[in-house]
Amino acid sequence: MAGTNPLRVRVTRDTEEATASGIYGLIVGAAVLVAAHPKSAAAAVVAEVVTLTIYWAAERYARIVAERIHEGHRPTWHTVRRQLTTGWEIVTASALPLLVLVVARLVGTRLITAEILSLACTTLLLCLSGWRMGAGGRLTSLERLVSTLVAGMFGVAMVVLKTQLH
């Protein structure tokens, strides 16, 4: 599409489900970074991407099984294909925080500092999501501020937890 910036960071996606998956992916990705004790940035990236991919697969599987239970028949190929081609935002939303982690390490910061910078990036993205949600939800300025703070508190909690664990 002409005029689009391929490097533009989007905190909201085309659908409600995709946006929710992205927010969930940011939070789970941050949790992995907090709980992991990697020896390198590469190990942290692998741990996060693999974990998020497993979460994606588990969520897709659960949706297919739930449909079978509630619909009372095998899922159609269309249903399986739809489930396997959606929800990837749970994995891809963490690309920017992981890039921050890698770049921070490449410029020489300690791994723990790079991890905290990555978590700060996640926090910023969560705050932007909260602010954007307020705009889409037609909230007042005060309500948007509260929405932003609530979303950002997930990231702040991860930063605090990381600093307390290390």
| pLDDT of the residue at 7 | 47
Express each pLDDT in 27-70 by its tens digit: 999 999 999 999 999 999 999 999 999 999 999 999 999 988 99
11 belongs to a structural domain: no
The range of the structural domain enclosing residue 157 comes to 16-165
Express each pLDDT in 64-115 by its tens digit: 999 889 988 888 899 899 999 999 999 999 999 999 999 999 999 999 999 9
122 belongs to a structural domain: yes
8 belongs to a structural domain: no
CB atoms within 10 A of CB 147: 20
5 belongs to a structural domain: no
User: What is the 3 state secondary structure string of 96-158?
Assistant: HHHHHHHHHHHCCCCHHHHHHHHHHHHHHHHHHHHHHHHHHCCCCHHHHHHHHHHHHHHHHHH
35 belongs to a structural domain: yes
Counted domains in the chain: 1
How far is the C-alpha of 17 from the C-alpha of 113, rounded, in Å? 33
First to last CA, the chain: 45
| Per-residue DSSP letter, 1 | -
0.75 cut: is pTM over it?
yes
**What is the average per-residue pLDDT within 148-162?**
91
95 belongs to a structural domain: yes
How far is the C-alpha of 86 from the C-alpha of 60, rounded, in Å? 8
9 belongs to a structural domain: no
pLDDT at 138 over 60: yes
Rg (CA), the chain: 18
145 belongs to a structural domain: yes
